[in-house]
Amino acid sequence: MIAELGLAALWLAAALAALQLVSGALGLTERGAVLGGAVRPVAVVQGGLALLAFACLIYVFSVTDLSVKLVALNSHSMKPLVFKIAGAWGNHEGSMLLWVTVMGLGGAFVALVEKRLPERTMLATLAGQAFVSLGFYAFLLFASNPFERLSPVPMEGNGLNPLLQDLGLAFHPPTLYLGYVGLSIAFSFAIGALVTREVGPAFAKAMRPWVLGAWIFLTVGITAGSYWAYYELGWGGWWFWDPVENASLMPWLAATALLHSCGVLAARNALRAWTIMLGVVAFSMSMIGTFLVRSGILTSVHAFAVDPQRGTFILALLAIYIGGALVLFGLRAATVTEGERFAFVSREGALVVNNVMLSAILGIVLFGTLYPLFAEAMGAKVSVGPPYFNPMSALFAVPMLVVLMVGPLLRWRRDKFGRVGRGLVIPAMLVVAGGIGVLVLGGVALLPWIGLALSVGLGWASLLPLKGRNLRRTPLPIWGMVVAHFGIAVALFGMSSESAFSVEKLVAVRMGEVTQVGPWGVKLDTVEPVAGPNWTAMEARLLVRYGIDGKVTRMLPQSRSFWAPPQQTSESALLTRWNGQLYAVLGGEAPKVDGEKQSRWQLRLWWKPFAPLIWIGGLLIALGGLLALLGRVAADVRRIVAKDKIAYRREKQGR
Amino acid sequence: MATVAKSPIKAKHQRLVLLIVALVVLIGAALLAAWALRNQASYFYVPSEIVARPPEPGRAVRLGGMVEKGSLKTAADGVTINFAVQDGKARVPVTFKGIVPSLFVEGSGVVAEGKMGTDGTFVADNLLAKHDENYVPREMQDMSREQAQKVMQETK
């Protein structure tokens, strides 16, 4: 019953999306202007219906209604409730439903609160949003219906991939989706602006909070995903350049560029066509990511199902939306009037460098991700990994970070290096000192060396915009910029330190034996079986000690066996200190060498100095975005309140 | 570019300059990427291919095949394993130091990431075994369709 309700809600939502598209488009014409009034309410109800459908899916998952095919395939009655709920989006159909739900809610939210733009632009924007939604509704209803029934009803479900049975999963995909799909709002704004030719500072100011919001969720989602891969896969790495990771990185790169170009458009009315272009590209990257992940065309933990029909369907959607938006851009870009001019040495100049470099990195990542597909079409099976991505992206990231030290200090329009030069002496010296310091330590590869040296100077330089300001009266967006840029320095330091100074040890030890990894002494105390709700495990008790006279701490890595579906995972154990993280993985029992009585257990240990800074930095970047968003929204609210007050007084006096 | 400020050029020209700079950087990035991909992409081999045309030592490649029955040996240190991968036509000795995936057993399919050593032994950094129904290395999927049956018969 509930499943049918969900399906009905989904159909209704799709119908309303069609209505929203038609009335929005007709509302732009003179004869259909009366229809324009329907667009906002329709958008709100459409969002509500999509949410209802999603709630229905969560319900059938939480009660494990096995007559629903999706539940039978992906859930199991013997599973903690939180993973039953998370299972609702831990599969292809459910995640696509989450996608359209977020998209519908995004449109509803815009329809409710966005009042700054001319109504014509809003109509075009909401029609654009409905147009994109409609395609994904069709995809759900025709090619991946999440509410399909199953007959006969099976006795038990297949269960959820154990790798995904983790609290990180409960929050990682929804966060990432809010970011991915939130960019659809920027896309629709760009479409709206192209249709009505209203591109200017007001447009950028209206679009910026939406981009910021999506970007914050993307940043948090990527950071969380990276940490999840780090501790759950048990491989000791935090970024694998996996196609799916790239699929989330590419929209982030585009959104970051968009955020900065929005700033230029809002403050200086320059980079008009470019900003629109980035709005189109950012969401296109989200869709390409979805295609790569959901079509099963690439291998990954995230590629749920291989179904050629679905791949073709998403590819067609991609062609329609990206192609359509680019054609519209090509037709209208020439009519978007000239922006303001500026000198090379200026805030805009620095932001252009930021934009070009981010786009170049985006190109590098996109190229590397798609190359295996092209190669396979040519008959060669290849994969592309860190040896390509690391140096190639660094080639563009390093100059960008150097400009990042200077850019925020420059004035808009025109500036001289002489004015800001003195402030940069200390950061420059820090870079040199850091470089020499690491060189003295020795044994560090080129990229981490550059990263370490650069991060120290960048950390200092990122705080410089606060110099000479009254900290209490500094506007929130400035704080946001400083915090986010400082976060980049922190994350860069963490990444470089992790790759430069990590110590790895792989051993087979007897119980009671002590092994050294970096500054740590690790003793294998016992290995005992333990059981969870839907798994059994071998759990090692490690007693670890930092240095010679440190406190003894316990670590409990597990090697887990799930039975539905049957699979083994290693649950790593992490011990965090202020200066790094000790990472322990329990392997299997080593085969006995002849004459041996006691068995040996495989242990894989890493000491990773300052590794947690990677994710702390990521969160700082997101926090910076949040501060900026709060500042912008607060300013808008104040302006609206003031406007209302003035209007109210005028009305009173008029009487 | 300092002259830009002194003698203001036309807005149209500035847009053109920006466009050209952006294009040059992006095309440069594309060319660099193409060049780097030729050198860095890691190719997939089956044993008969790698024996016939071995890649230069030190180049990262992947090797996929069946783990030969009776070839799996663990060294005295308890963490280094040696085994052979075969596809029914040729066999390649592989050495790997690490924790093996749980579904890695003799007679099953495996994809090894690593390098060809000078002595004809494949040194693997990572082993990918079949994880579960939904996550199969793509090469292995094809392999199991094309070759697994035959290989399984020969190894039994």
CA distance A297 to A306: 7
- Residue A48: is its pLDDT beyond 80? yes
Q: CB distance A360–B29 less than 8 Å? A: yes
Residue A301 carries which DSSP code? Answer: T
Residue of A nearest to B12 (CA): A338
Query: A396: how many CB neighbours lie within 10 A of its CB?
Result: 22
pLDDT band of residue B63 (cuts 50, 70, 90) is confident
Q: Would you call A506 and B37 a contact, using CB atoms and an 8 Å cutoff?
A: no
Contact criterion met (CB < 8 Å) for A383 and B22: no
| 3-state SS assignment for residue A118 | coil
Per-residue pLDDT tens over the stretch A462-516 = 999 998 888 888 899 999 999 999 999 999 999 999 999 999 999 989 888 999 9
Least confident segment among A28-37, A242-251, B133-142: B133-142
Angstrom distance (rounded) from CA A290 to CA A279: 17
The reported pLDDT for the residue numbered A266 is 92
pLDDT at A10 > cutoff 90:
yes
The pLDDT, as a whole number, for residue B135 is 43
Confidence check: pLDDT of A196 > 60: yes
pLDDT of residue A299: 53
Q: Which of A47-51, A185-189, A226-230, A521-525 has the lowest mean pLDDT?
A: A226-230
Q: Looking at the structure, tell me whether residues A133 and A172 fall in a common domain.
A: no
User: A-B interface: how many C-beta pairs under 8 angstroms?
Assistant: 140
Q: Quick one: pLDDT at residue A371?
A: 87
Calculate what percentage of chain B has a pLDDT beyond 70: 73
3-class DSSP assignment, residue A330: helix
Q: Is the pLDDT of residue A97 over 90?
A: yes
Total domains present in chain A:
4
How far is the alpha carbon of A317 from chain B, nearest alpha carbon, in Å?
A: 24
A377 interfaces chain B, CB cutoff of 8 Å: no
Contact criterion met (CB < 8 Å) for A363 and B30: yes
**Would you state the pLDDT for residue A451?**
95
Q: Which residue of B has its CA nearest to A158?
A: B133
Residue by residue, DSSP assigns A66-105 as TTBHHHHHH--SSS-HHHHHHHTTSSHHHHHHHHHHHHHH
Residue B109 bridge partners (DSSP): B66
**Rounded average pLDDT over A35-48:** 92
Q: Quick one: which H or E segment has residue A228? A: helix A201-232
Higher pLDDT among residues A24 and B39, named by residue: A24
Pick B40's closest partner by Cβ from A300, A304, A388. Answer: A388
Could you tell me the pLDDT band of residue A297, with boundaries at 50, 70 and 90?
A: low
Q: Which residues of A touch B103 (CB under 8 A)?
A: 568
Please give the single-letter amino acid code of residue B78: G
Residues in B closer than 8 angstroms to A506, CB to CB, are 79, 97-99
On the question of pLDDT at A151 being above 70, the answer is yes
Is A120's pLDDT higher than 60?
yes
Question: Range with the lowest mean pLDDT among A276-285, A557-566, B87-96?
Answer: A557-566
Q: Could B78 and A602 be called an inter-chain contact, meaning their C-beta atoms sit closer than 8 Å?
A: yes
CA gap A309, A341 in Å, rounded: 49
Nearest residue of chain B to residue A561 (CA atoms): B102
Q: Are residues A175 and A269 in the same domain?
A: yes
CATH class of the domain whose range is B44-155 = mainly beta
Please check whether residue A554 is in contact with residue A541, taking contact to mean a CB–CB distance below 8 angstroms. Answer: yes
pLDDT score recorded for residue B142: 53
Using 50, 70 and 90 to split pLDDT, how confident is the model at A245? confident
The predicted structure's pLDDT at residue B133: 40
Q: pLDDT at position B68, please? A: 86
A359 at B interface, C-beta within 8 A: yes
| Closest CA of chain B from A491, distance in Å | 25
State how far the Cα of A41 lies from the Cα of B4, in Å rounded to an integer: 51
> Looking up tokens 């500036």, which residue turns up?
A415
pLDDT > 70? residue A541: yes
Contacts A359 to B, Cβ<8 Å: 22, 25-26
One-letter amino acid identity for A360? A
Confidence bin at B155 (pLDDT 50/70/90): very low
Is residue A211 within 8 Å of A262, Cβ to Cβ? yes
Helices marked H in B41-81: 47-52
Q: Do B79 and A364 touch (CB under 8 A)?
A: no
A462: left (phi over 0), alpha (psi -120 to 50) or beta: alpha
Highest averaged pLDDT of the listed ranges A290-294, A550-554, A565-569: A550-554
B contact test, residue of A264, A382, A568 with most B CBs within 10 A: A382
Using a CB-CB distance cutoff of 8 angstroms, which residues of chain B are in contact with residue A364?
Answer: 29, 32-33
Q: Indicate the average pLDDT of chain A.
A: 88
Residue B14: phi and psi, rounded to 5, are -60, -40
Question: Which of B51, B98, B21 lies closest to A355 in space, CA to CA?
Answer: B21
Question: Average pLDDT in the A634-645 region?
Answer: 88
Confidence of residue A338 (pLDDT cuts 50, 70, 90): low
CA distance B6 to chain A (A): 9
* Residue of A292, A381, A509 for testing the chain B interface, max B β-carbons within 10 Å: A381
Give the residue from B37, B45, B59, B103 with the most A CB atoms within 10 Å of its CB, the best one to mutate. Answer: B37
Give pLDDT tens digits for A358-393: 999 999 999 898 888 888 777 777 888 888 999 999
User: What is the DSSP secondary-structure string of B14-50?
Assistant: HHHHHHHHHHHHHHHHHHHHHHHHHHHPEEEE-HHHH
DSSP class of A375? H
Could you tell me if A188 and A132 are in contact, meaning their C-beta atoms sit under 8 angstroms apart?
yes
Q: What are the two backbone dihedrals, phi and then psi, of residue A165, each rounded to the nearest 5 degrees?
A: -85, 80
Mean pLDDT computed over A452-468: 93
Q: How much is the average pLDDT of B100-109?
A: 76
Q: Which residues of A touch B37 (CB under 8 A)?
A: 367-368, 371, 384, 388
Are A184 and A103 in contact, with CB atoms under 8 Å apart?
yes
CA-CA distance, A234 to B123, in Å (whole number)? 21
Distance from CA of B19 to the nearest CA of A (A): 10
Indicate if the pLDDT at residue A591 is higher than 80.
Answer: no
pLDDT score of B62 more than 90 = no
Tell me, yes or no, whether A421 and A480 share the same domain.
Answer: yes
- Please give the share of chain B, as a percent, with pLDDT higher than 90: 7
Residue B2: predicted pLDDT: 39
Amino acid identity at A17: A
pTM over 0.95? The answer is no
Which chain A residues contact residue B46 at CB under 8 A? none
Range of the domain at A564: 503-590+598-609
| The most confident of A66-75, A153-162, A182-191, B110-119, by mean pLDDT | A182-191
pLDDT value at position A593? 67
Query: Would you say residue A440 has pLDDT above 70?
Result: yes
Q: What tokens were used for B89?
A: 């036509």
A321-335, A469-483, A571-585: lowest mean pLDDT where? Answer: A321-335
Q: What is the pLDDT of residues A202-217, one digit of tens each?
A: 899 999 999 999 999 9
Q: Measured between beta carbons, which residues in chain B are less than 8 angstroms from residue A161?
A: 132, 134-135
Which residue did the predictor score with more confidence, B148 or A112?
Answer: A112
Domain ranges of chain B: 3-40, 44-155
Is pLDDT of A587 > 70?
Answer: yes
Six token digits for residue A120:
């014509």
A227, A375, B35, B153 from B111: Cα distances, Å = 26, 19, 26, 20
Q: Which residues of B are annotated as a binding site for heme?
A: 131, 135
Chain A: nearest CA to B113, how far in angstroms? 10
Please check whether residue A603 is in contact with residue A507, taking contact to mean a CB–CB distance below 8 angstroms.
Answer: yes
Residues A486 and A523 occupy one common structural domain: no
Q: What pLDDT is recorded for position A271?
A: 86
Map tokens 């096995």 to a residue. A66
| Local structure of B108: helix, strand or coil | coil
Chosen for mutation from B10, B135, B142 (greatest number of chain A CBs closer than 10 Å) is B135
Mean predicted lDDT score pLDDT of chain B? 75
Mean pLDDT to the nearest integer, A125-132: 93
pLDDT bin (cut points 50, 70, 90) of residue A614 is very high
- Minimum-distance CB partner of B132 among A506, A567, A585: A567
**So what's the pLDDT on residue A560?**
87
- Cβ contacts (< 8 Å) between A383 and chain B: which residues? 41-42, 44, 62
